[in-house]
Amino acid sequence: MKLPFMSHMRQAAQKLVRKGATAMLHKAVESMMQQQQKLQEQRMNTPQPSPKAPPGGMRDLNPAPDYTSAKAASPAQAEAAAVAAPADEARHAFKPTPESKPAAEAAPEAAPRPEAKAAPAADAAPAAAPNPAINPAAYAQDMLEKMGIKIDLTASFERGIDLGTLRHPGVHTPQVPLPEGARFETGSYANHAGSRNYKLFIPSTYNGQPMPLLVMLHGCTQNPDDFAAGTQMNQVAEEAGCLVVYPEQTSGANQSKCWNWFNAIDQQRGQGEPSIIAGIAGKISDDYAVNPEQVYVAGLSAGGAMAVIVGTLYPELFAAVGVHSGLPFASATDLPSALSAMKRGASNINVPKAGNGAQPIIVFHGDSDTTVNPRNGEQVIAQHLQTQDEDGDPSVQSGAVPNGYRYTQTTHTKADGSPLGEHWVVHGAGHAWSGGSEHGTYTDSRGPDASREMLRFFRTVS
């Protein structure tokens, strides 16, 4: 009888998470570090005998991994390590560092993890004894990965590990079933700037009548299925009667599948990725009955930054913009300036030159986001308000999610009472979609439901 060993290990890990095992893990790692130092000193003072072949020619086919080269990296080093060779001369890989989940959209990811040594050949000498000089964080990371949990301990160990935000990789979670009668179809669009696939959610209530259309831009390392599952936007759109299209970034355009918000060519109307995304929205509007006054764009992290760009460049197409953990328009023009903006906020925020940025905008950002500095959320709103005539002081409301985070909602309106923008700061949240599902990456269910709030806000615009 085969026991579900890995399942039990995952359950045990989740129990530890719920009980708040952060201090326990740190204490255990400190103990490991002390033992490591003692073992290293003993090894240096004790002559080591030459290894002898075991009886019968038996060999260890699974030698212990060598973690001596695994070192904790600073955030800047981790981000720099994520930059890979471009797919073409105009593209650069750019991968965000997940705060609490496996891969997804916005800041570059931590330095690559060391790989275990390959098994020795049949005629090779037996494996040497495990090296006692083991990096504790790397060892713990390896054990977590064997339990099906991914988190970069080597890069985050110095700033502390929030075990309460651990999630199983989205690829290992079951597919979220569609509402009865709804469809989730695959399509493709191409123009002079390139081509992209997309997935389109069609609610069960669609029978050819005009409906709103929402364009959802995923974050780095994500895809339409992952993003739809994590944000639960399809379920919300089913209730609201809304079409939702998820353009998919390719690894050929960006190795980490990030939208290239930091490239100058991708910040121009009629050029690069903005023209492709706008073209997808136009194609859906031609193929289906879409209310032209109810077309919106939203995104997470790199997708959030691209949503700002697309909305700014095509104000006649998009009636409103949603930004989660994103950055202002033209906040970077290359990788160095992108990394700087992500960590410290944009250094020079100007009024967008293209488009008029007149659409209402809703912004979500966690104030504990160490991937994209929360200052960027403030700058997105500030940049938008530079071109608007706001009526007096904004209204500020505070609230809390039961057993979750507190939040502050700031609402800006025009003199006639029509909405200008909303800024939601989720206190204690990291780089994750607020109110999302664990079925997707980069989500945190403890915050207010960003998907519902965005669709609610969009409805007030029309």
Q: How confident is the model at residue 179 (pLDDT cuts 50, 70, 90)?
A: confident
Name 418's Cβ contacts closer than 8 Å, sequence gap at least 6: 360, 461
- Please provide the DSSP assignment of 132-181 as one string: S---HHHHHHHHHHHTT----HHHHTTT---GGG----GGGSPPPPPPTT
State how far the Cα of 9 lies from the Cα of 167, in Å rounded to an integer: 14
For 303, other C-beta atoms within 10 Å of its C-beta total 33
State how far the Cα of 314 lies from the Cα of 311, in Å rounded to an integer: 5
How big is the chain by its Cα radius of gyration, in Å?
A: 24
Q: How confident is the model at residue 123 (pLDDT cuts 50, 70, 90)?
A: very low
Instruction: Please give the distance of CA 194 from its chain centroid, rounded to a whole number.
Output: 24
pLDDT for 415 equals: 81
| For the chain, percent of residues with pLDDT exceeding 70 | 59
Q: How confident is the model at residue 213 (pLDDT cuts 50, 70, 90)?
A: very high
pLDDT for 314 equals: 96
Mean pLDDT comparison of 71-75, 109-113, 218-222, highest-scoring range:
218-222
Q: What is the pLDDT of residues 20-39, one digit of tens each?
A: 444 444 455 455 556 655 65
Q: Please, is 22 exposed, middle or buried when counting C-beta atoms within 10 Å of its C-beta (0-12, 13-18, 19+)?
A: middle
Report pTM.
0.66
Q: What is the pLDDT of residues 135-174, one digit of tens each?
A: 545 545 554 454 444 444 444 333 333 323 333 333 444 5
State how far the Cα of 107 lies from the Cα of 400, in Å rounded to an integer: 27
Look over the chain and give the mean of its residue pLDDT values, rounded to a whole number.
74
Name 197's Cβ contacts closer than 8 Å, sequence gap at least 6: 186, 187, 188, 247, 248
- Weakest mean pLDDT among 71-80, 197-206, 286-295: 71-80
Mean pLDDT comparison of 84-98, 99-113, 228-242, highest-scoring range:
228-242
What is the average pLDDT across 170-181?
A: 67
- Weakest mean pLDDT among 132-136, 246-250, 312-316: 132-136
The DSSP 8-state label assigned to residue 89 in this structure reads: T
Give the CATH number of domain 183-461.
Answer: 3.40.50.1820
- Weakest mean pLDDT among 210-224, 225-239, 256-270, 391-405: 391-405
Q: What is the pLDDT of residues 385-428, one digit of tens each?
A: 886 766 678 899 999 999 999 999 999 988 888 889 999 999 99
State how far the Cα of 219 lies from the Cα of 396, in Å rounded to an integer: 29
Residue 16 has pLDDT above 50, yes or no: no
Residue that wins the pLDDT comparison between 154 and 365:
365
- Weakest mean pLDDT among 43-57, 183-197, 276-290, 322-336: 43-57
Helix axes 22-45, 136-146, angle to 10 degrees: 120
pLDDT for 42 equals: 62
Residue 35: both structure tokens together: 């033992």
Q: How confident is the model at residue 11 (pLDDT cuts 50, 70, 90)?
A: low
